[in-house]
Structure 1
């Protein structure tokens, strides 16, 4: 059960055992059984770091052109009688995702999520979006935290995913590490166009003035498509805000192209937030408590299932309209609006995703002759035992739900239900 679904709940394990033994085990026993299964499949929490390069090496063997690398902190520590390098970061992206991004909007959403296991690490994710507003997973990285690791991660994303010939817009929250990373110069590559997630932007106003009407008006301001409408709505918003919120917003006017559609020049393609990355964070919620080797393997199979699901949907759509133009629903809507004259000069291309080759079991893996990594002891969490489930509410949660669905995204959230449903298949 754990191998088929690393995110399987303890309650589901209890019910499965009861189903074929007619005996209901206690929660603690089922929880320990799951931990033993995890250790057998992916190693214990420390050994899992040594398995990461072996799994990535196997994925690259069966799926050529897979890009991956591991960065050490430059220190070695004793483990089981030998000196081993300490892992600092790991990165990987699949060639199928790189090829798919060539057929997507030149927009990448980046986000990070912390891991809930025994070590204080984070998972960084780069996500794209196709013409039908469906997410495309592009690259992953396990890092020691959200700091200068963003520069390292985005450098690899630009090299392996974007390439030298394409200019992209990156949408993110206002993390200082990302601010620094997008300013990095890469010889031979286009500079990054950086835009802010409007939902995170609104959270900064909420910190200074908690008011439903203020947030609603701010949404209208961000969604304004002309400078004239922007000016009118800005005047109205300033009349509603207190002094602290007004002063903060004034400071952001210098960078209004990063958060207002009226000054965006179309770089963000109408994508207003990082919700496409946060959808994936929700899917990965349970696996975040797994060893790092399990996380790597989980991303491989989850991306594989996603591609296959989308390909089946596309085939069904093609079969339902034989001998007709192969346009998606979103493209058809735009073409209908533009008229037949505009549509005559356009062409459609059917993208056939490269098949993912399974990595089988470890007995079929190629020999790995690289270093055996171990985690940084300083990242080990102090507390032991089962983590208490707790929802730490912040300003993002407090203002969520306020205002009209003015983007077609609702409270700064893109309609993610279709993406979540796909990712959980």
Structure 2
């Protein structure tokens, strides 16, 4: 299927600057296209992932994505999506973030038919007088004020620095058009004003027939109208050190039936037929959560690896069954990250004292009762002997003790020293 038609079917197009012209271009040649990300953090979260899924689809269709790391624009701040000025970072932090984001992009896109560039490499060479003379004269303040990205900030105020962001982003598009044969810019819905400013600049300097186009993506909302991309713990990061692969997998697995088909269309590379079959499964047997499981598998494999999917599903199965003996210390760290935890020493202790000291039970009377009734499991093993001794270093590299009370209540003991 032609790629724009596929994107429409997936609900991934908000606006196009010239649909007919873009279709003709994409049908005639390999096309360069780009999206940018400013290095405001050392990892993307899943909200950032949205435009880059579009670029990946173009890459799979034979086109050439270029990722712009905004070392230049990121040092001044993008006004979109916020009601206040961005707090500027040190250049050391910006450069650290650039390196981390570049690594993530290479992981997602590979090294074939793909480029990562940094706009500081060209923006940093433009002097103030050249900027004002060569570019500032080509932008009308009236037009800039009318752009949504600026207009939304006028009541609370916007600095000249952030006001000029759309000029710098336009210069990015012009540079990439000239130097990288990039003809399409992709961005979120809030980037429409910046993108059209770029196409206008190209047409002004390269001629009205220059083939430069823009594509924006709809704001991603859940079925209840709230913004997509947050979990109970905050942002869902692509960096495994910030959001573990298990937590990442669980985020997708826990999506509502009302949202899962939309996310399958947007965040996976499954065919229309495969998604239609999963949509039927949601309607006929939602309890199996077949669509959610496939969504979690596909996105986790793309962002992390197939091995990360296997690990996440092994942790999930162990927690559901209570059979945690075979989990590794690393898997314990992931699977129990958000469960109640307590600190303990490596010293062996009587089971009753251990349970009370851990806060699993409030009194020794309750602890004895739970042990005798078989309600307590230590590292997956049921303990019914009131004289049993718990050795905190017996499993999981001597780092953890897993206590389970009843069928579902887990506690994680972390061994100090």
Scaled by the length of structure 1, the TM-score of the pair is: 0.25
Scaled by the length of structure 2, the TM-score of the pair is: 0.26
Larger radius of gyration: 2
Greater relative contact order (CA < 8 Å, ≥ 6 in sequence): 1
